[in-house]
Each structure stands twice: as C-alpha cells, then as structure tokens.
Structure 1
Amino acid sequence: MLKYAKSIPFNMIHVCIDEYDHFQMKGYAYNNTIESPIEFFDIHEIILRFEEVFNKNGNPLSSHLSRSFMKQEAVGRYQNKPEVLCDWETIAKKRGKITDFDIVVQSRRQATWQGSLFFDGQEIVFQDVLEMIKIIDKKMNELLKKS
C-alpha cells in the first residue's frame, strides 16, 4: 500500500466503519483533497460522494460525462496533482470502531471504478464497483464472524 500512498494519495479513500449490517454500514471516509471526512450511512453513499470528489479533482478522470436535468458543477480539468488539504499519514491513523480499509481508485472507465482494496494487509484488485462491494461485504462478514 505504501507504493500507492506515495504516488497517488488523491485517488485513495480511507474508510472507517463504525457499524455494519449487510451492506448497511456507517462511518467516515477520508481523502486528502477534502477538508473534512465524509460521513456515510451505506456503501453506495461513499461511491456517490467520491464520484463528486473525483470529478472536482479531475483525477482519476472519468471516461464519460454525466447527464442530468439539474444544473451540475463543471467537471474539473485533468490535474496531475490536485490540491492536498491533509497529509496521508494523518488520515491513515484514523480508525473505525469495527475496522478500516483503503480503496485506491486507479481509473473510472465504463462508468465504474477499477482499482485495489487494502484490507488487513491484503491487496485485492477489483474491476468494477459491484465487485468491490461484494469484496467489502465478504470481508466484513468474515471479520464479524471472528468477533
């Protein structure tokens, strides 16, 4: 994970889970390009909120433009390094009541995320958001069975 923390920290999401009940999880998500953590009440909220963050940063660049009847904020132009508001070492120390893990979003092709999930020292690669959600659910259920 250190190779990612040094090279692309603005694509990383540090997720701290305080409560979990089959896809319904509560906690906070951190990224070093946002001022304060994002409080979430399910996994889908993390995805939607970080789509906005990534669009604002322009990185990772989305492969498509969203269409809407509502006026939307313009998508940020591609930036190699968005403004960093908090160092990654500080964020990595945050802990959830149940667990915490990191998501590295390497690309956003075909209207979904591709990247890696870091959970208990393991790196698990995913090709789309649904696969990522299934991995998180499986890991959370394994963790809860142990305790």
Structure 2
Amino acid sequence: MLTISNSVSVADWEIDISQIRAQGAGGQNVNKVASAVHLRFDIQRSTLPPVYKERLMALSDQRISKEGVVIIKAQSYRTLELNKEDALNRLQALIKSVAKQPKTRRPTKPTKGSQRRRVDHKTRKGKIKSLRGKVPVG
C-alpha cells in the first residue's frame, strides 16, 4: 500500500515491480545492474480519483506513455530493496505533484482600494524623502 495523502492511496496490486538484468552486464557495476528495477503503474486501471488521473495524463513527463502507463526505472543502489523503495518514492512524488490544487491567479486589474493604498503610500513616502536633510524650523 502506497499512501499519497490521508484520503488517497494506491494498492499493491496496482503496482507491478519487476527486476531487470541488463544483457552483457560486466565489470564494476555488475551488482548495480543486477538489482535494477522497473516499476509499472497503469493510470487508467488504478483506483485514483478521476481528477488525479486527468492531471497525470495531462503531464508532459517522459515516464508516462500515451496509453497512460507510468514506467519508472531505478538502478541507483546496489540492493534490490533500495531500488524498489526508490521507485515507489518517485511514483509517490509524481502522484503528489498532481494532488496539489493549482494556484488561482490573482485578478490582473488591481482593486480600487489597493490602488488608493498604493498612491497614499507613495505620496507619504515622497513627503518623507523630501524632508530628509532639512532642519525643521521651530
């Protein structure tokens, strides 16, 4: 079970993790290649909310195919368990990135109140600047 947020999680049966061994692996990195992992996650068949599915499909990420399958390759670590954990963390981060609500833009036109406050502040600041260096007569 991969928990995305309090209300959203991905079941184990939805994630297919397979161990990959590259052909002709040799030399120093033989252990690293032997523990490589490919994680496969089908967006359309998953139990994610429809909003998350739409946002995932709309992402321009090279890990997501046109059919809606996410393939994450992990081979940074020498042990299989660490590579599996790394792949799961990357999938979790990908889904969390679409879970965030997109920010709403502020209106392009400032309100009358904000315009008035800005002008008042600028004029007050201008008056203070103009009095600098002058000795008040009193």
TM-score in terms of structure 1 length? 0.27
Higher normalized helix content (fraction of residues) = 2
Structure number with the higher strand fraction is: 1
